[in-house]
Every structure is written in C-alpha cells, then in structure tokens.
Amino acid sequence: MKLTNQNKENKEDILKTFTFDNSGKGDLFRTFGFKKSEQDSGSSESQIALFTYRIKHLTDHLSVKKKDHAAKLGLLKLVGKRKRLLAYLKKEDLSRYRAIINSLGLRK
C-alpha cells in the first residue's frame, strides 16, 4: 500500500500524539525524572534528567536544522545549567551524583 500525502500527514499526527512533543512537564518528570515523591519536580536529579532529555531533543533538531542559531544558543544554555547542577550534586552528595551519571549515561 502506497502512502499518499493525506496518509503521511495522518501517520505524522498519530506519531506526534505518542511522542513527548505534546506532553507537559509533568509527563516528562514522570518518565525521565528521578522522583523522590509523586510531587517531586525540583530535586537536582529530576532537573538533570529533564535537561538531558531537552538537550537530546535539541541536538536531534540541530542535526537537521544546522542554521537554527536560536536553538543552538538554547542548547548551550541548557548544557551550562545541567553542568552547574551536576557540579552542585557532586559537591553535596557524591553517591547521588554517580547514580545519576550512570543511569543517564553521561560522561564525568
């Protein structure tokens, strides 16, 4: 079966529904956050996990749209925020720092 333009658009709409493009922060924290409780969205681990997801999303976007300088600036800001949070976590609690690094697959 060949996909017509209408079928392609429907397929894209369906895929967008099931991706995180339409989800709010609550869904992202539930999926990627390292929550201590149900209402936890401010812990360092949760924020680092959310920043990591957003960094990955922006990196994928920039691999396609190389001239999107606003997105590149946003990516650099997010990387800096995540770096500062990781430094804070490393200073405060080394075991939590190592756990988040291992679980997210980040370099030290």
Name the residue ranges covered by the structural domains of the chain.
Answer: 43-108
- Backbone φ and ψ for 68, nearest 5 degrees, come out as -85, 85
Average pLDDT, the chain: 78
Q: Is the pTM of this model over 0.95?
A: no
Residue 64 has pLDDT above 90, yes or no: yes
Report how far apart, in Å, the C-alpha atoms of 76 and of each of 7, 59, 73, 82 are. 37, 10, 5, 10
Supply the pLDDT for residue 107.
Answer: 84
Among the listed ranges 20-29, 47-56, 83-92, which one has the minimum average pLDDT value? Answer: 20-29
Residue 62 has pLDDT above 90, yes or no: yes
Q: Per-residue pLDDT averaged across 54-81, rounded?
A: 94
Q: Per-residue pLDDT averaged across 5-26, rounded?
A: 53
For the segment(s) 43-108, the CATH number from 2.40.128.20, 1.10.287.10, 3.60.40.10, 3.30.70.980 is 1.10.287.10
